[in-house]
Structure formats: C-alpha cells, structure tokens
Amino acid sequence: MDDTKRLMDEDIRDACEVMRKGGLILYPTDTVWGLGCDATNEEAVHKCYTLKNRIDNKAMLVLTDSQAKLYQYVDSIPDIAWDLMSAAEKPLTIIYPKAKNLAPNLLAPDGSVGIRVTKEDFSRRLCEAFRKPIVSTSANVSGEPSPAIFSDISETIKNGVDFIVRYRRDDENRSTPSNIIFLGEGGLVRVIR
C-alpha cells in the first residue's frame, strides 16, 4: 500500500470516529475545504454553526456518495434533478424541498436542504465509510472568504475542530464552490450560484 492511500485510509477512519462521537472535522471536498459533521446529529450541526459564527436558520448543505441515497433525505426528486446531475461538468449542489431524516437545524426555514453527490475520491470514500450524510460547509467564519486551499484556513477554524484531515493539505490547486440550483414545488428551477 502506498503512503498516500494509507494516509487517506487512516484519515477516513479517524474522521468517521470523530463524527460518530458528535465531533467536527476539517476536510477536503470536491470543492473548497469544508467543515463537516454528522448531518443527522442536531448537536453536532449546532457546533458547526457556532464555529462559523453563523445563525442557525442559514442552512448548510450535505454531501452523500451516491444518487440512490438521495431518497433517504428528501421526499421526492424531480425528474430534472437527474438531468442536471448527469449534465453537470463541475460539482453541483441541488436544493430539494421537503427534507427528511436530517438534523432539523440543518434545514432552511422552508424545510428544504442542499445536497451534493460528491464524485471526488476522498469525500466520496468518507461518505461511504460514514454511511450517513456529512455536513459540508466552507471552512471559514461567516463573512470571510471560502478557503480554496488548506493554507487559506484561519487558525480560528483549525483550532475549533476535533480532527483535521492530513490528506491534500499540500494541494495548491485552487478550488471554487459548487454551482447551486434550487428545485421548488411545481417545477420551479432557480439558479442560485
């Protein structure tokens, strides 16, 4: 086993252990570096809001590793969602109405939730191993820029989490946040970002 794979495996194991205990992790995603926790644990989600200095009613998105798992977290998936995911050339977060089986304080006031099916190797494997959706919010205090690379992350954030993934810390490729599309009731489609 090469060192990179061993490091990734160890990080995934340790990150899952921390999240199972309600802790926060700092990890690389398919977009920017993110703060993560168990998206079904209301107390862990609250810790994430507190660290970001963000009000609870400003929803955070979640990552999952497969399209099939979407049915576990939303009441219905509009047909256009499948087309959008197939056509997306960069990471795409879709906001779905009527979320379920997630921490209530993770949802928007209207009960919707943003979910991204990650294809990036580390975050996909992390979701697979954790077997639950994982919060993915940019690793910054509200109002500050999103960290495109690990060295952009503030000490406040680094000191506020329970585990920092080692994998990809040296990666200097600057990432950008995902596109976001809102799918509302009655066929409403709105591009957010």
Average pLDDT, the chain: 93
Share of the chain above pLDDT 70, in %: 98
Per-residue pLDDT at 55: 76
pLDDT at residue 57 is higher than 90: no
Per-residue pLDDT at 80: 94
- Average pLDDT (70-95) is 94
- Average pLDDT (133-146) is 93
The CATH number assigned to the domain with range 3-191 reads: 3.90.870.10
Q: How confident is the model at residue 33 (pLDDT cuts 50, 70, 90)?
A: very high
Neighbours of 119 (CB within 10 A): 12
pLDDT at residue 50 is higher than 70: yes
- Average pLDDT (136-164) is 94
State how far the alpha carbon of 73 is from the alpha carbons of 33, 97, 98, in Å.
23, 10, 9
Strand ranges, E, within the chain = 25-28, 33-36, 61-64, 92-96, 113-117, 134-138, 163-164, 179-183, 189-191
Eight-class DSSP state of 39: T
Eight-class DSSP state of 75: S
Q: Where are the domains of the chain?
A: 3-191
pLDDT at residue 114 is higher than 70: yes
Per-residue pLDDT at 193: 86
Per-residue pLDDT at 177: 84
- Average pLDDT (73-78) is 94
pLDDT at residue 101 is higher than 80: yes
Of 140 and 54, the structure prediction assigns the larger pLDDT to 140
